[in-house]
C-alpha cells in the first residue's frame, strides 16, 4: 500500500433508523497515510458514518468500498474477518476487558485471529513497550488511570498492524494532557506505516491532529478547506 492510495470510499451513503435519517447521501474518500477527522454537532451522523465505513452498519443505499471491494456485498463472516485483521478500533471509554491484564487485552485481537498465546503475548509486549506502557502490562484495567487505560486501548487497536484505525471520540473521557498523549500515539504510528485514521470528534484540539476535517451535518458531508 502506497501513501495517497484510496483505502476507503463512501458514495451516496444513506442510513435511517425508523423515521430518523442519520445519513442522507454522505460521501468520503480516505487515503493511505492520512488522518481524517469527522466533525459536527451531536446527532449529525458522524458515528453512523464511521460505523458504515467500518462495515459494522450496512447502509440502506449507496456504497462503501475498501480497496475497491463493496462491503455490502461481503458475507458477515468476511466483514468480521476484515474488522479483526485490517481495521483497528478505539472507543471513548476504551472497552477493555476488566478480567484481563493490560497485556492480555492488547493480545486479544491476535488470539481471536488464531495467533498462538506466546507469540501474541510477545507482540503485545512489544507494542506496549513502544507506547511506554510496559510498567502496567500485568495490571488490570481497574488498576490503571483513565489515560493509561485509553493508551492501552490504542495499543490493542494497533497490535494487528491495521490499515485503517477507527476512533470514536477517543479523548472524550480524558483531560487535556491525557488526551494529547492519546492523540499523539493514535496518529503517529499509523502515519509511519501509511495506514489511515478516521476519527469522530467535536473538539477542535483533537481535530488539529488530522490532515483533513470533514464536517457531517444533517447526514451529509462537507470537507473544510483546511490543510496541514
Write the pLDDT tens digit of every residue in 44-67: 899 999 999 999 999 999 999 999
Domain membership flag for residue 216: yes
CATH code at position 91: 3.40.50.300
Domain membership flag for residue 107: yes
pLDDT of res. 97:
96
Q: What is the mean pLDDT of the chain?
A: 91
Please write the tens of the pLDDT for every residue from 126-177. 999 988 899 999 999 999 999 899 999 999 999 999 999 999 999 888 888 8
Could you tell me the pTM of the whole model? 0.91
Residue 183's domain spans which residues? 6-223
How many structural domains comprise the chain? 1
Query: How many other C-beta atoms lie within 10 A of the C-beta of residue 150?
Result: 28
**CA atoms of 98 and 76, how far apart (whole Å):** 28
Domain membership flag for residue 196: yes
**CA atoms of 205 and 96, how far apart (whole Å):** 25
Going by C-alpha positions, the residue among 210, 191, 150, 222 that lies closest to residue 32 is: 191
Domain membership flag for residue 54: yes
- 209, 183 Cβ separation under 8 angstroms: yes
Amino acid at each position: 500500500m502506497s501513501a495517497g492510495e484510496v483505502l476507503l470510499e463512501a458514495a451516496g451513503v444513506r442510513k435511517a433508523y425508523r423515521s430518523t435519517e442519520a445519513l442522507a447521501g454522505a460521501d468520503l474518500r480516505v487515503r493511505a497515510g492520512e488522518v481524517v477527522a469527522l466533525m459536527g454537532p451531536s446527532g449529525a451522523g458522524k458515528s453512523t458514518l464511521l460505523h458504515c465505513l467500518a462495515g459494522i452498519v450496512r447502509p440502506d443505499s449507496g456504497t462503501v468500498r475498501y480497496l475497491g471491494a463493496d462491503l455490502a456485498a461481503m458475507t458477515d463472516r468476511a466483514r468480521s474477518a476484515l474488522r479483526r485483521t485490517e481495521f483497528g478500533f478505539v472507543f471513548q471509554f476504551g472497552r477493555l476487558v476488566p478480567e484481563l491484564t493490560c497485556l492480555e487485552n492488547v493480545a486479544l485481537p491476535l488470539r481471536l485471529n488464531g495467533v498462538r498465546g506466546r507469540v501474541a503475548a510477545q507482540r503485545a509486549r512489544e507494542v506496549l513497550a513502544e507506547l511506554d506502557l510496559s510498567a502496567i502490562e500485568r495490571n488490570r484495567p481497574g488498576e490503571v488511570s483513565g489515560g493509561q487505560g485509553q493508551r492501552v486501548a490504542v495499543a490493542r487497536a494497533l497490535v494487528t498492524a491495521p490499515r485503517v484505525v477507527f476512533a470514536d471520540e477517543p479523548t472524550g473521557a480524558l483531560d487535556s494532557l491525557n488526551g494529547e498523549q492519546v492523540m499523539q500515539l493514535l496518529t503517529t504510528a499509523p502515519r509511519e506505516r501509511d495506514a489511515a485514521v478516521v476519527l469522530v470528534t467535536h473538539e477542535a484540539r483533537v481535530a488539529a491532529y488530522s490532515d483533513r476535517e470533514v464536517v457531517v451535518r444533517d447526514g451529509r458531508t462537507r470537507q473544510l478547506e483546511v490543510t496541514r
